[in-house]
Amino acid sequence: MNELLSGPGMIVVIIALCTAGWLINNWIRATHGYDLEDEWGGKTSRADKSAEIESLRGENAQLTQRLEDHAERLKVLEKIVTDRGYSLSDEIEALRRDESSGVPLDIGKREKV
């Protein structure tokens, strides 16, 4: 044991204790929200994130509202498409019979040559 605490061993123990103390100190500071110290004794202040958080909350509210608006529009479109009075095939057949456009649309009724 005496050999460990004499000479170079003592220096290693002192450096290990100082490093451990510095790490514990910074861990306590970070846990409680204080500025952190760097290895030269300078301080690194915590960035104020409250403005960014408020900005993100506002953007989130806008996107949520936009999503709700699109959901309402989608409900209206689904209602239009699934309505019994709406029949796409009937409208296509009506267009095929309409010869006022000048182009007959009797595609299904052509005779094969």
- Amino acid, single-letter form, for residue 40: W
Those residues of the chain that have pLDDT short of 70 are 1-5, 37-42, 44-48, 84-88, 98-113
What is residue 39's predicted lDDT score, i.e. its pLDDT? 63
What is residue 44's predicted lDDT score, i.e. its pLDDT? 67
DSSP assignment of 12-65: HHHHHHHHHHHHHHHHHHHHHTPPEE-TTS-EEPPP--HHHHHHHHHHHHHHHH
Whole-model pTM? 0.36
- The H or E element containing residue 80 is helix 50-82
Listed in sequence order, the residues at least 6 apart from 4 whose beta carbon sits closer than 8 Å to its beta carbon are 10, 13
What is residue 27's predicted lDDT score, i.e. its pLDDT? 85
